[in-house]
Structure formats: C-alpha cells, structure tokens
C-alpha cells in the first residue's frame, strides 16, 4: 500500500494550469493533501468546478495562451494570498500529426498552448514570486514529456513544443540563479500516462487494445504511468526537499528513454 508523507508543502501557495483533469488533477489533489493552498486553472469549467468542490482548491477559468488571463489569475492570487510559492505549467495538448499533414493553424495553436502558455506562466508567476514577502522565492515546474528527450517520428510538432519547454526551463532557471533570485525552475518529463488525453484514440474496443499495446511497448516497465506517480514527482519539486535542483530534467517514464526500441 502506498504511504504518503503529510505536510510536505504545508503553508505554500500553489497554482496549477490545466488542473481540471489528468496530470493536473492529480497534482491539485496531491498538493492539497500535503497542506498547500491550491489554485488551479482550466478551460473546462465543468471539471474545474467538480474538482474544486471535491478538494477545496480554488478553480479559476483560464486559457493559458492569453496573457491578460495570466495577469488576472496572478493578481487574484496576490490579492488573496500575498504570495506564490509553486507554479506548475501543466496545460498542454497533443500535436499535429505527421509532417506532410500538418495544418498551420493547428500548428500555431499547439505552440500557443504548449510553448507560449508556459512562457506566460513563467513570466507572470515568476514576477509574483519576486514580490514574495521576505524576498524572491519559489519553484516553477514545467511539464514537458519524454518526447522532448527522444523524438516521436509521427508527431514533430509535439516533440518540438516539449523540447522548447525543456530548454526554456533551463534558460529561466539560470537567469534566476545568476541574478541571485531563489526561484527554481525545472522540467518534468512523463512518459505515456493513463489520462483522458488518449480518449480520442479509443473509438472502439479493438482500437483501445491496439493503443494500449503500442503505449506499453514504449515503456520497459510494460505499463502506463499513473497520474499520481507523476504528481508525486511534482510534489518533490514543489517542496523544499528539492532546494538544490534547478534547470534540471526529471524523467518519470518507466524507463522509456533508457533503452533503444526493441532492445
């Protein structure tokens, strides 16, 4: 039976983008369990209201690609809490498919959410963290993918956006560190995880079976990750236990990036 510590981020104020389902939902739950005051945003207001009612976290309707909404969210948190200690840039969508079939409008939307949305979170969350009482401090956690470390041949857009998140996180981390600001920034790289993001491919029982087989083949451990397993790594990065970690990549993929395919 899984045993969890209690109070690892007691008293911290956190915001999770894309928090209404999947990995974001698991992070909201874990952060609340471990004592944080949690705000989360999402475009899915129905799921957001449900999760807020279940956890006591505060839901804010939020489109990560719109800068004015980031400004509004950070202003709300500063007004009500006076600080921000943890920011998880989790909101993201899947890619645009094979190169020859890429639609430019879909490509631009992918980058607006997966890359620009992360940048805007780091920009405005980072500025609020610099105004924290007692001086600049905080932990920014950017959700990337193991597809940022080993490319997916069938979806260059997704790999491109997640690779951008990796290098963006490193740049931001070093920027803060060299300025003497105690704000850390790391990227988290999940492998295939059992979330609703794969539902469009589960159009039939046979399609679901093929999808599961393909996803399992990508992971030496032979199974999908569980959202709580990814959330536990985010919890570590949110806590003071990771106080000397910045500009790093934290991989939670069941060994998927540790072996050549088929070997």
146 assigned to some structural domain:
yes
145 assigned to some structural domain:
yes
According to DSSP, the β-strands at 86-89 and 37-42 are unpaired
6 assigned to some structural domain:
no
Residues 195, 100: Cα–Cα separation, whole Å: 28
The pLDDT score that the predictor gives to residue 1 is 39
The pLDDT score that the predictor gives to residue 250 is 98
According to DSSP, the β-strands at 137-143 and 13-16 are unpaired
The pLDDT score that the predictor gives to residue 261 is 65
The pLDDT score that the predictor gives to residue 214 is 75
The pLDDT score that the predictor gives to residue 32 is 98
What CATH number does the domain containing 185 carry? 3.40.50.720
Six-digit token string for 55 = 């956890």
Domain extent, residue 136, equals 13-190+225-251
Query: Residue 13's closest CA among 242, 238, 246, 240?
Result: 238
Instruction: List residues with catalytic annotation.
Output: 158
The pLDDT score that the predictor gives to residue 18 is 98
107 assigned to some structural domain:
yes
How many structural domains compose the chain? Answer: 1
Task: Report residue 98: phi and psi, to 5°.
Answer: -60, 150
Low-confidence ranges of the chain (pLDDT < 50): 1
199 assigned to some structural domain:
no
pTM of the model: 0.93
185 assigned to some structural domain:
yes
48 assigned to some structural domain:
yes
Residues 72, 125: Cα–Cα separation, whole Å: 11
213 assigned to some structural domain:
no
């Amino acid at each position: 039976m899984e045993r969890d510590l209690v109070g690892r981020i007691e008293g911290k104020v956190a915001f999770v983008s894309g928090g209404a389902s999947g990995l974001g939902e698991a992070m909201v739950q874990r952060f609340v369990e471990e004592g944080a005051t949690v705000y989360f945003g999402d475009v899915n207001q129905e799921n957001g209201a449900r999760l807020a009612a279940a956890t006591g976290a505060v839901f804010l309707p939020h489109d990560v690609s719109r800068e004015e909404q980031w400004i509004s969210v950070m202003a709300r948190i500063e007004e009500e809490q006076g600080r921000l200690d943890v920011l998880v840039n989790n909101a993201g969508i899947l890619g645009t498919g094979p190169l020859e079939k890429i639609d430019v409008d879909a490509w631009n939307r992918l980058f607006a959410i997966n890359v620009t949305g992360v940048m805007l979170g780091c920009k405005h969350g980072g500025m609020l963290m610099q105004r924290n009482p007692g001086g600049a401090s905080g932990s920014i956690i950017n959700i990337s993918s193991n597809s940022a470390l080993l490319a997916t041949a069938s979806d260059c857009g997704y790999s491109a956006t997640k690779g951008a998140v990796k290098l963006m996180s490193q740049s931001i981390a070093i920027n803060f560190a060299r300025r003497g600001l105690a704000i850390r920034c790391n990227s988290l790289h999940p492998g295939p995880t059992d979330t609703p993001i794969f539902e469009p491919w589960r159009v039939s029982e046979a399609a679901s079976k093929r999808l599961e087989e393909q996803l399992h083949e990508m992971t030496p451990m032979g199974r999908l990750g569980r959202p709580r397993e990814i959330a536990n790594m985010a919890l570590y990065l949110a806590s003071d236990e990771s106080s000397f970690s910045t500009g790093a990549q934290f991989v939670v993929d069941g060994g998927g990036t540790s072996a050549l395919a088929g070997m």
